[in-house]
Amino acid sequence: MAAIDWTRLWQRRTAAAVGLYPLALLYAALLGVRRGLWRLGWRRPWRAPVPVLVVGNVVAGGAGKTPTTAALVQHLRRRGRHPGIVARGYGAPAADGSARLVADDPDPARCGDEPVLLARATGVPVAVGRDRVAAVRRLLQRHPEVDIVVADDGLQHWRLAADAALVVFDARDVGNGWLLPAGPLREPWPLRRAPAPTVWVLRTEPASHPPAAHPYPEFAAQRRLAPETVALDGTRRPMAHWRSTPEAIGALAGIARPAAFFAALQAQGVPLAATVPLADHAPTAQLRAALHAAVTAGGPRQWLCTEKDAIKLRPADLPEGVGVWAVPLEVVPSAAWLDALDAWLATAGQPRPRAL
């Protein structure tokens, strides 16, 4: 049986989506109960002793949150701040539920692929934990110099109070506008709760159809492939090399939208002889097996993949004579968004007196 293409199903109100709508109503009811508990004060958020800026989205699947987080952190460092990151660490074992520092055990199988990627890309401390409050506490205990926390994919984690929230959208916008599983929405849009005193919308791609109306300031960013590719051993080659090489080239992606990565490569003029799409956060064993199967079947010997995939592979994982090259994804926010961020940093984004 073919796997369901949820991304495509969620773009329109098709018969299949309509069939799932009763489940979306049930999900909406559960969300309403959850909102009620917080509004009545039966659940209360914890406020960190430093400002917290959440980067998240309201749709299922990647919209560019991780490269946006990296770009945001790099900007904070340029402004003289000392940011730290907290993340869920998708795929990391729950263990006892405690938070951990990526620096203590930088294995994607134990910390999650995106936190390890963020730690390498930004050079700032990253704490991982299902409980973001515990992650922030661990981060600040180990790194008291941190004066602002960026929560990657934390929009639906209400227990951690946020001072600002950045909601990221790609070309899909809100799809058919329905809640899961009939549509892509993790919560209603516009938001029916106040995730933070300040809320911005950042579009990493122009919407493919008229976007849903909302009351928040909106800004643009450019999402693009980096000009250099990086092999597992650190060797670098310009993207131009892959446009002109006589070798057959394959592309592998274990992300939310593999087709978007393949299309971006082709838009750069890279002729792909084979593509292998895998599920988001595909584990090392699955990546390794897919490569071996493709090469055994006579596929290309050179493969391009995302950084999130490459971070889980080692040269010893590859068939002999096969090369894998990571293609970093960059998000370049507009000057208008950076100006808005700087204005917030000068006021509400100032550090608070420490009292853990």
pLDDT computed for residue 1 by the predictor: 45
What is the 3 state secondary structure string of the chain? Answer: CCCCCHHHHCCCCCHHHHHHHHHHHHHHHHHHHHHHHHHCCCCCCECCCCCEEEEECCECCCCCHHHHHHHHHHHHHHCCCCEEEEECCCCCCCCCCCCEEHHHCCCHHHHCHHHHHHHHHHCCCEEECCCHHHHHHHHHHHCCCCCEEEEECCCCCCCECCCEEEEEECCCCCCCCCECCCCCECCCCCCCCCCCCEEEEEECCCCCCCCCCCCCCEEEEEEEECCEEEECCCCEEEHHHHHHCCCCEEEEECCCCHHHHHHHHHHCCCCEEEEEECCCCCCHHHHHHHHHHHHHCCCCCEEEEEHHHHCCCCHHHCCCCCEEEEECEEEEECHHHHHHHHHHHHCCCCCCCCCC
Point out the annotated binding site: 59-66
Point out the annotated binding site for ATP: 59-66
pLDDT computed for residue 270 by the predictor: 96
pLDDT computed for residue 3 by the predictor: 63
pLDDT computed for residue 298 by the predictor: 92
pLDDT computed for residue 96 by the predictor: 46
pTM score:
0.92
Q: Domain 52-223+332-346 falls in which CATH fold?
A: Rossmann fold (3.40.50)
pLDDT computed for residue 319 by the predictor: 87
pLDDT computed for residue 316 by the predictor: 87
Kindly list the averaged pLDDT for each block of 10 residues, start to end, along the chain of length 356. Answer: 72 92 96 90 90 95 88 96 92 63 90 93 95 95 96 92 96 95 96 94 92 96 94 94 94 91 95 94 91 93 95 89 94 95 88 60
